[in-house]
Amino acid sequence: MKKVGLFLLAVMFILGVAGVSRAGDTFVDAKKKGVLVCGVKDSTKPFGFIDEKTRSIVGYDVDFCAAIAKKLGVKLELKPVTSSTRMPDLVTGKIDLIAATMTKNEERAKQIDFSYMYFYTEQKFLTRKGTVKTLADLGGKKIGTSKGSTSEQNAKKALPTATILSFDDYPPAFLALQQGRVAAVTTDESILVGLMNASKDKNNYEIPNIPISKEPYGLGMRKGDKNFVNFVNKTILAMEKSGEADKIYKKWFPGKRLFKITDKQ
């Protein structure tokens, strides 16, 4: 019996170290606490950033968190996360939901569960105007991105001869581009547009039409948290049907929305 006990302890330890999130019931727990803790970016326009007037975090992802918390009947608490901290924060229970420009992929789905796609974009490059025409122009160059993002791996695959420099977040990567320390910044086009438009010298930069990956965003929840996953999926599907999802999109992005939230994913 002692050996069996030691074996079970070892298994639990390995699972903990591997970062596998253990299932709970966030739907019930959040209702009991009266609050939903949502992990969002605070420096990634227009998804999550600090409003200069109110000093509060606002953005596309924040509006989805607010809609889900309202439907759940609880208060919303926002916790800033980065690409590298969002999954560990979810797994360890620091947050209940990730809404932080996170792409759904098979590797991440081994550790957490995802909602239906609620945003879609492609990964491209932000460069100084006129310096990059084709992907080959970035061969052997230094490329900046954010730690823990899918763009780290996608850039390595697309540009095996390039040096990928990972920063804590996207603004420091863009600063490196402005200072000439990297030849480009790569991530989702929607994020690159936000970085460029927030810059005082935005006319010096451009996003060449060189896509290297497709990026469907999902809301992240703990693995096996079925009750909450079902609730979130039903909520965002209802938001699509009522027009609320499109209204949120138009609030933060110009032009027509080219995707819909569906259960066919």
Q: pLDDT tens digit string along 219-242?
A: 999 999 999 999 999 999 999 999
Residue 23 pLDDT: 56
CA pair distance 23, 31, nearest whole angstrom? 17
Confidence of residue 2 (pLDDT cuts 50, 70, 90): very low
Say what the pLDDT of residue 22 is: 52
Task: State which CATH number among 3.40.190.10, 3.40.50.10860, 1.10.150.130, 3.40.50.150 fits the domain covering 22-118+218-252.
Answer: 3.40.190.10
Task: Identify the pLDDT of residue 14.
Answer: 40
122-214 CATH fold: D-Maltodextrin-Binding Protein; domain 2 (3.40.190)
Own/partner pairs, 191-195, CB within 8 angstroms, 24+ separation: 191/44, 191/47, 191/101, 191/121, 192/124, 192/125, 192/126, 194/44, 194/45, 194/46, 194/47, 194/49, 195/45, 195/126, 195/170, 195/171
pLDDT for the residue numbered 13: 39
Q: What's the whole-number mean pLDDT along residues 118-129?
A: 97
Domain boundaries, the chain: 22-118+218-252, 122-214
- Give me the pLDDT at residue 153, please: 92
Compute the average pLDDT of residues 84-94: 97
Helix then strand then coil, % of the chain, to nearest 5: 40, 25, 35
* pLDDT given for residue 7 in this prediction: 41
The mean pLDDT value for 37-62 works out to 97
Q: Do domains 22-118+218-252 and 122-214 have the same CATH topology?
A: yes
What is the per-residue pLDDT for 255? 87
